[in-house]
């Protein structure tokens, strides 16, 4: 597939790294502005391309990995997009500000796209290195079953266990789980490798 990653910060870089090194998909990246230093570094390190507006428009999947405040600007190249949009954006005040999830805001702005929430409960450290033990769970929420299935396959390809998180309305809980992971990393002693895994406690 042709996959564009919009956002070249820590998490955007982690997603681009995982996709380029663990899948055979064609990866393009887009920073906050054309020719940004962060984009140039990733292009050189990963052998990916810098995505143009046309590249993004022709993508099968577009990951939106930007701060919640930057979502409107990041969505500009996706105005008429009909493919799969994976929201990895999380607001620091999710669940406390009375606003919809970032994924729902993206879906409202892009009515023709198939929006999926995924990877919002995982540290970028774990995205870069899933480890060799039991697999971290990626909770996938969407109103589109075909898009959800495609993201399941991407998640599994980069080393994670994909878990059906329900409809897109459930994304707010997955995003809040990400903020809980931040607090756990700071307060529990696990640091930025703390992660979540769903499993059957009784078999």
pLDDT band at residue 35 using 50, 70 and 90 as cut-offs: confident
Q: What is the rounded CA–CA span in Å between residue 110 and residue 63? A: 13
pLDDT value of position 33: 80
Taking 90 as the threshold, does the pLDDT of residue 139 lie above it? yes
Q: Tens digits of per-residue pLDDT, 49-91? A: 999 999 999 999 999 999 999 999 999 999 999 999 999 999 9
Domains of the chain are: 2-193 (3.40.50.720)
pTM: 0.96
Q: What is the rounded CA–CA span in Å between residue 129 and residue 11? A: 12
Taking 90 as the threshold, does the pLDDT of residue 24 lie above it? yes
pLDDT value of position 200: 93
- In this structure, the number of other CB atoms found within 10 A of the CB of residue 74 comes to 19
Q: What is the rounded CA–CA span in Å between residue 43 and residue 16? A: 10
Within 13 Å, how many C-alpha atoms sit on residue 177's CB side? 22
pLDDT band at residue 105 using 50, 70 and 90 as cut-offs: very high
Within 13 Å, how many C-alpha atoms sit on residue 195's CB side? 23
Pairing of strands 49-50, 26-30: parallel
């Amino acid at each position: 597939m042709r996959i564009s990653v919009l956002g070249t910060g820590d998490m955007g870089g982690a997603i681009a790294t995982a996709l380029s090194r663990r899948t055979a998909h064609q990866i393009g990246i887009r920073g906050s502005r054309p020719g940004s230093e962060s984009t140039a570094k990733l292009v050189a390190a990963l052998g990916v391309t810098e995505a143009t507006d046309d590249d993004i428009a022709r993508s099968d999947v577009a990951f939106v990995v930007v701060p919640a405040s930057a979502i409107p600007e990041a969505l500009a190249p996706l105005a008429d997009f009909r493919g799969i949009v994976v929201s990895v954006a999380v607001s620091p005040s999710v669940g406390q500000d009375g606003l919809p999830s970032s994924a729902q805001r993206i879906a409202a702005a892009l009515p023709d796209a198939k929006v999926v929430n995924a990877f919002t409960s995982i540290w970028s450290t774990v995205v870069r290195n899933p480890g060799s033990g039991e697999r971290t769970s990626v909770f996938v929420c969407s109103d589109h079953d075909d898009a959800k299935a495609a993201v399941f396959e991407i998640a599994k390809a980069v080393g994670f266990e994909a878990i059906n998180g329900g409809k897109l309305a459930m994304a707010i809980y997955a995003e809040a789980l990400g903020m809980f992971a931040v607090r756990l990393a700071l307060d529990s002693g696990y640091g930025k490798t703390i992660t979540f895994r769903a499993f059957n406690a009784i078999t």
